[in-house]
Amino acid sequence: MSIKDLEEGYNAPTKLIQSYLFTKEFGNFFVSTCHRMSSAMLDPTPWYYETFAWKLDKDRHRTDWVVEFGGTDDKEWAFQNHIEICRQLDLRGEYKEEYYK
């Protein structure tokens, strides 16, 4: 990759999936999974999928960050993880890796 590639946005993350989750018990959440370039220059897998989740306020603006999960280069696993995060937020209002089946 050249400097020109970086300047032209070659390393810009791309969205894979985004979800709005509305729960009665725990409030509302926004979950986003993107494909992005690692900031570690010598990373053996420079591109990976990363998922974040935030709590939403009454106006559906992101407020509190609740989940960060990343580090896979497997697209199928990224989809499964995204859905698992949504499932746990719906059931418990939080995500914990040890709950993942």
Please enumerate, as own/partner, the contacts of 90-98 that have beta carbons within 8 Å and a separation of 24 or more: 90/21, 90/23, 90/26, 92/26, 93/23, 93/25, 93/26, 93/27, 94/66, 95/53, 95/66, 95/67, 95/69, 97/69
4: confidence class by pLDDT, cuts 50, 70, 90:
low
- Given a cut of 70, whether residue 7 has pLDDT beyond it is no
Q: Provide the mean pLDDT of the chain.
A: 83
The per-residue pLDDT for range 43-80, each reduced to its tens digit, is 666 788 999 999 998 888 888 778 877 778 899 999 99
pTM of the model: 0.78
- For the chain, percent of residues with pLDDT exceeding 90: 49
